[in-house]
Chains A and B, each alone.
Chain A
Amino acid sequence: GNSVTQMEGPVTLSEEAFLTINCTYTATGYPSLFWYVQYPGEGLQLLLKATKADDKGSNKGFEATYRKETTSFHLEKGSVQVSDSAVYFCALSSYTGNQFYFGTGTSLTVIP
């Protein structure tokens, strides 16, 4: 079946620190992978995506590389800001699943 496992939170970092949020997946077929971000009181927003192996998605300084050999899609940012404080969700979509599968979310707090 299809599933996503992501790093438990919460994560607290100082401003300008390096961020990694781990995400691994199980999927039948060839999934597309996504990172979404949710700010307080809002819905989820697409942060980045990758649709095939070795693709790198990037947006607003965040990056994630689709690694088929390790079934991973880790989110990274070189220097976080206070405004990056939010909950981050890893997700996959597969032709075999007819739905999106989300991880449990990782809460990030960045302190000045």
Chain B
Amino acid sequence: KAGVTQTPRYLIKTRGQQVTLSCSPISGHRSVSWYQQTPGQGLQFLFEYFSETQRNKGNFPGRFSGRQFSNSRSEMNVSTLELGDSALYLCASSLVELTGNSPLHFGNGTRLTVT
């Protein structure tokens, strides 16, 4: 079974630009959640989508948005990029929504560098 696939692996953008990251979950998984990982803040929860609906959102500004398609694939968008948005963005899929004991399965992440 293929794992969680994130594209692209690396991105370099300039301040003020916008970026879209993509995540394909494990087949059959309906929950996709996104995390920002930085050395100083660790893993910060961005949002979770289940059956195309955003179920929960972390404490991030409105510049961070996402969506989920009917095939469970998800995209995350960051507009008006700031230097502080440089991070590893991780996507994780789960069989059910994030209230049960079903574990998360992570992709290898997209490394975003904002210059």
Given A43-B4, A43-B90, A100-B45, decide whether A49 and B99 contact each other with a Cβ distance below 8 A. no
A95 in complex: contacting residue of B4, B42, B100, CB < 8 Å? B100
Closest-CB distance, B4 to chain A (whole angstroms): 7
Contacts of B101 on A, CB cut-off 8 Å? Answer: 32, 49, 51, 93
Bound CA–CA A51/B99 (angstroms): 12
Segment 74-112 of A: residues with Cβ below 8 Å from B: 89, 91, 93-95, 97-100, 102-105
CB of A45 closer than 8 Å to a CB of B: yes
Tell me whether B113 is interfacial, beta carbon within 8 Å. no
Interface string of B77-92 (1 = CB under 8 A from A): 0000000000000101
Q: How far is the CA of A100 from the CA of B4 in the complex (A)?
A: 17
| CB < 8 Å neighbour of B103 from A34, A42, A94, A105 | A34
Contact A100-B106, Cβ < 8 Å, known A44-B90, A93-B99, A94-B99? no
Query: With the chains together, A89 CA to B107 CA distance in Å?
Result: 16
Residues of A within 8 A of B103 (CB): 34, 46, 49
Is the beta-carbon distance between A45 and B106 smaller than 8 angstroms?
yes
- Residues of B within 8 Å of A93, CB to CB, are 98-101
Contact: B42 with A102, CB < 8 Å? Answer: yes
Cα A105 to Cα B100 in complex, Å, equals 22
Given contacts A36-B106, A98-B99, 8 further A-B contacts (CB under 8 A): A34-B103, A43-B90, A43-B107, A49-B103, A89-B43, A95-B99, A99-B48, A102-B42
Interface residues of A (CB under 8 A from B): 32, 34, 36, 41-46, 49, 51, 89, 91, 93-95, 97-100, 102-105
30 contacts between A and B (CB under 8 A): A32-B100, A32-B101, A36-B106, A41-B108, A43-B4, A43-B6, A43-B90, A43-B107, A43-B109, A44-B90, A45-B106, A46-B103, A46-B104, A49-B103, A51-B101, A89-B43, A93-B99, A93-B101, A94-B99, A97-B98, A97-B99, A98-B55, A98-B56, A98-B98, A99-B48, A99-B98, A102-B42, A102-B43, A103-B42, A105-B42
